[in-house]
Chains A and B, each alone.
Chain A
Amino acid sequence: MNSLPLEGHSILFVGGKGGVGKSTTAASLAVHLADSGEQILLVSTDPAHSLGDLFGTSIGDRKREIIPGLHALEIDPGQEVERYLARVKKSMRHYVQPAMYSEIERQIELTRHSPGSEEAALMDRVTTLMEEGTTSHDRIIFDTAPTGHTLRLLALPEIMAAWTTGLLKSRDRSASLGKAVDRLRGREKASGDELAWFDDVKEKVTDERTQKIQEVLLERRRRFSRARRLLLDPETTAFILVLIPEKLPILESEKTLKVLKQHKVPVAGMVVNRTLPNNQALGEFLESRRSQEAEYLQQIEKAFPKLPRVQIPLLSRDVQGINALREVAQHLLIDR
């Protein structure tokens, strides 16, 4: 029970309460796997990125090589929103009369600042990366934002797939009713209607739009469903929960685990970070902390009896740079 079983998992999520060492864990995992010859893509979804600081370099919204075999990127939802809006504007020029541009553009501008946009854009990017990243790399590791945010991100594909399915059903009903109307009108045209030609032209335009709407919705649903399938596949995805032996992180981890189970996201194991070193005399103050820690470790044992678990001890200096990450990785025993 003291190693992380990550055989063949190509999508890893590293999550936990704020400040417990998610980024450090994700980064040292990434460095370790890259060192052992895998192609790794490390992605930060936390709006307050810390991967760059951890590696002592600036990473951005585009993939950057950190060491051989390891690429990293920090998702910038703002940029993702911009790219999407630019795409919508382009399609507007194809379908809408120029007189209406300014009104639609106003609507597009509003979306830029509406509250759900960045979250939606983030999910768009994450689902795309889940598909692309697993073909270009052996594994993709997500360094996630604090728990609540991430749980929502993991639940979103399910909600959205249901939503697009509903919209598609509505379109289907409309289309079959339209066909029935056309059949009745078809006979009328045969009986000689001089205006039928105009109807035909108008219908062709409407048909093109109807088909395009259908396509857009189908593509959305395809993406959401695929993300969801990958996410729930225990052979593909593994969630790694990071915590420190203190009361609040333990309680939050229990809640997180429950929600992950609810959404059927496979959890591979736990990393208990910053435990006090065993083989050193610590002085009275820290000894008293150590006895409290022992209680919490027992509590963790009891709360998560079935979950594989590894411990990373508190180090003499904080973790910064590749070599420090390699040192941390020695404690992350991984079955690969």
Chain B
Amino acid sequence: MIHKPREKRSLVDWRERLTRGGELLHEFYRGRHRGALARERRQEDDLFMLLVFSEMMGIENPSSYYTLELLPLLYEGFHEWHIRMGMDHSPLEHFRCC
């Protein structure tokens, strides 16, 4: 490894580092807000999934017939959903997605 002489890492280098540090800090705060909002949105979507799929979970749902037409639209999110709900495999015997 070739080391640059100490004197040459001076001002320009530090300025760069500070700018970079500022950006990271900025990103850190923005990321936290974004994370919180994204999490809340995911929770809302999870609730929606639960409302639509509740009949399959054994919770009586008066509208399961009517929401069947949502199934093709929601199916691809189904896998992520049951993993997030803490179930490694699909909770529904007859509804295998993994």
Chain A residues near B (Cβ < 8 Å): 84-85, 87-88, 91-92, 94-97, 100, 103-104, 106-108, 110-111, 114, 116-117, 120-121, 156, 159-160, 163-164, 166-167, 170-171, 173-174, 177-178, 180-181, 184-185, 187-188, 209, 212-213, 216-217, 220
Q: Report A-chain residues with C-beta under 8 Å of the C-beta of B27.
A: 188
Q: Report B-chain residues with C-beta under 8 Å of the C-beta of A88.
A: 68-69, 71-72
Q: Report B-chain residues with C-beta under 8 Å of the C-beta of A187.
A: 30
- Over the window 35-58 of chain B, the binary record of Cβ atoms lying under 8 Å from chain A Cβ atoms (1 yes, 0 no) is 001101100110110011001100
Knowing that A92-B72, A174-B41, A213-B73 touch, tell me 9 more A-B residue pairs with CB under 8 angstroms.
A107-B56, A120-B66, A164-B66, A167-B52, A170-B48, A170-B51, A173-B44, A212-B73, A216-B69
Q: Which residue on chain B has the smallest CB distance to residue A90?
A: B72
Q: Considering the complex, which residues of chain B in the window 10-39 have a beta carbon less than 8 Å from any beta carbon of chain A?
A: 27, 30, 33-34, 37-38
The distance in angstroms between the C-alpha atoms of A171 and B51, with both chains bound, is 12
Interface size of B by CB at 8 A reads: 35
Chain B residues near A (Cβ < 8 Å): 27, 30, 33-34, 37-38, 40-41, 44-45, 47-48, 51-52, 55-56, 62-76, 94-97
The distance in angstroms between the C-alpha atoms of A259 and B49, with both chains bound, is 34
The distance in angstroms between the C-alpha atoms of A118 and B65, with both chains bound, is 9
Output the least CB separation between A37 and chain B (Å). 39
Q: A114-B64, A177-B44 are in contact. Are A100 and B70 (CB under 8 A)?
A: no
Please determine whether A111 and B62 come into contact, CB atoms closer than 8 angstroms: no
Instruction: From A107, A178, A185, give the contact of B71 (CB < 8 A).
Output: A107
Instruction: From B62, B70, B97, give the contact of A163 (CB < 8 A).
Output: B62
The distance in angstroms between the C-alpha atoms of A181 and B34, with both chains bound, is 6
Please determine whether A184 and B72 come into contact, CB atoms closer than 8 angstroms: no
| 19 A-B pairs in the complex with CB atoms less than 8 angstroms apart | A92-B71, A94-B72, A96-B72, A103-B75, A104-B71, A107-B71, A114-B55, A116-B65, A120-B63, A120-B66, A160-B63, A164-B63, A177-B40, A177-B41, A181-B37, A181-B38, A185-B34, A213-B70, A213-B74
Please determine whether B70 and A216 come into contact, CB atoms closer than 8 angstroms: yes
